[in-house]
Structure 1
């Protein structure tokens, strides 16, 4: 494995420790698919247990750092520059249905910018990781975004709002425009992994709206260190807090942004 800093070692160790419980719980969730009740509650408990394990590991290693977590919320630290951003189970619905497309996402935000990230899928043992200025890796292999420049040959990933979430009409319109101009669209259901797949060149671009900071912080760092571009969908810089994100290789970033831009209203 490439040399990892003390910081990255702490993050990877925390992810792997929580992953052991998640894999056990994933097996249980798969077994519960024949049941009519209890699966959702079981997965919620698995989510909470994983977050607690990560919180304990990182608190022990860096006691002054703050936290932003999906379940526990925000915890201020004595160190105002550094805070951990944690999603213990990205892709909960996939996990719930026994689909092995979920991940632990851990990011370190330094001075309100993504500094380091780990996205780990325990079901496939794929560990994506990056630290600012050090490149991006999948397990022990250096990764880079794709070099495709022809939009018609590019594969995009997206997220679509599920029942009760706003923005479905706009998302479907965006998806239609992308489908008309590219090789296809995939909707895998785990934003952190979608971003990691852009970093590894599996997807050429990814976009989604109404996301939280813990959905994107780690993946964004990995994409940038893999040579890609990350912004809000309209090109703004506040993707951590705005909720919209576009990640793409540098060859098609501008084309992707133009494709997703809402057309002017008639009249």
Structure 2
């Protein structure tokens, strides 16, 4: 009999347990800091903020994950230099990683700073570039959204399904205003002018991850935004896909970690919404 100690095999259930624990602990700590941050700094623009709470949340999550999975790679928002292309460069540097955790410690920092309760912790795990786990935790409402590849998506332990609207005119949609004021924001304004008259209504609440979780839960029919990063989208993309929805780039290409301009819907309205957005860009 060999004296060698066999390393335990870690399955997806353990991945999910760790992600849930990380999101819950970070989220509850963030909630206790609401209204009491000390430092506030701008990154790319006045719309792109960071506090010591963002950094503390990311450190907490990273330490917890690395305790369980020291051989895994980690991509967190606060560990990447600001700027529109920095996230893609960081992602490229990690393209050989077998397991990559992708984390936004507070998605919706501007909301957090102003005490507007629409911010979340977003944690995703990619295996060889494919998202296999996504967790979005909203501490303000104590709602945890989770999806595992091939196993469905859940909130409050209940299976999520996307909304059943068949057309944009029946749909409640959401968007986000880009930090890039030179090109992306003017285009976003044109998109709003194109889509708003056709939709039932549009919301812009300041957290891409939570908007995507709401699409997965059927609370929104669709969401689009430009200039996002892997940590904004990774967890939410799996939530939507596992709830029966569709996630693509603005040109209709299937979602991948390099997508920055995203369209996410229940599926039935996807082509119609894409057409409206493309027409606005002409």
TM-score where L is the length of structure 1: 0.88
Contact 2:171 2:199 in 1 (8 A): yes
Quote the Cα distance in structure 2 between the aligned partners of 1:178 and 1:168: 15
Q: Could you list the structure 1 runs, at least 4 aligned residues long, displaced by more than 4 angstroms after superposition.
A: 74-77, 162-165
Name the SS of the counterpart of 1:63 in structure 2. Answer: coil
Computed over aligned residues only, the root mean square deviation of the Cα atoms, in angstroms, reads: 2.1
Deviation at 1:140, TM superposition (A): 1.2
Quote the residue 1:121 is aligned against: 138
Matched, 1:237 2:254: yes
- After superposition, residues 4-83 of structure 1 pair within 5 angstroms as 5-29=13-37, 38=38, 40=40, 44-73=51-80, 80-83=97-100
Deviation at 1:162, TM superposition (A): 4.6
Contact 1:106 1:218 in 2 (8 A): yes
Name the SS of the counterpart of 1:84 in structure 2. Answer: strand
Correspondence for 1:160 among 156, 173, 177: 177
Contact 2:172 2:220 in 1 (8 A): yes
Change (3 A) 1:129 1:264: closer
Aligned residues: 253
Change (3 A) 1:23 1:239: same
Deviation at 1:256, TM superposition (A): 1.1
Deviation at 1:224, TM superposition (A): 0.5
CA deviations over 1:40-93 (Å, ceiling 9, x no partner): 26961111110000001111111111011111235988x832100000000000
Contact 2:246 2:265 in 1 (8 A): yes
Contact 1:128 1:136 in 2 (8 A): yes
In structure 2, stretches of 5+ residues that fail to align are 1-11, 42-48, 81-89
Contact 2:249 2:259 in 1 (8 A): yes
Name the SS of the counterpart of 2:34 in structure 1. Answer: helix
Quote the residue 1:193 is aligned against: 210
Contact 1:102 1:193 in 2 (8 A): yes
TM-score where L is the length of structure 2: 0.84
Matched, 1:172 2:179: no
CA deviations over 1:89-136 (Å, ceiling 9, x no partner): 000000000011000000001111211100001111011110000100
Contact 2:103 2:124 in 1 (8 A): yes
Deviation at 1:240, TM superposition (A): 2.4
- After superposition, residues 86-235 of structure 1 pair within 5 angstroms as 86-162=103-179, 164=181, 166-235=183-252
Deviation at 1:166, TM superposition (A): 3.6
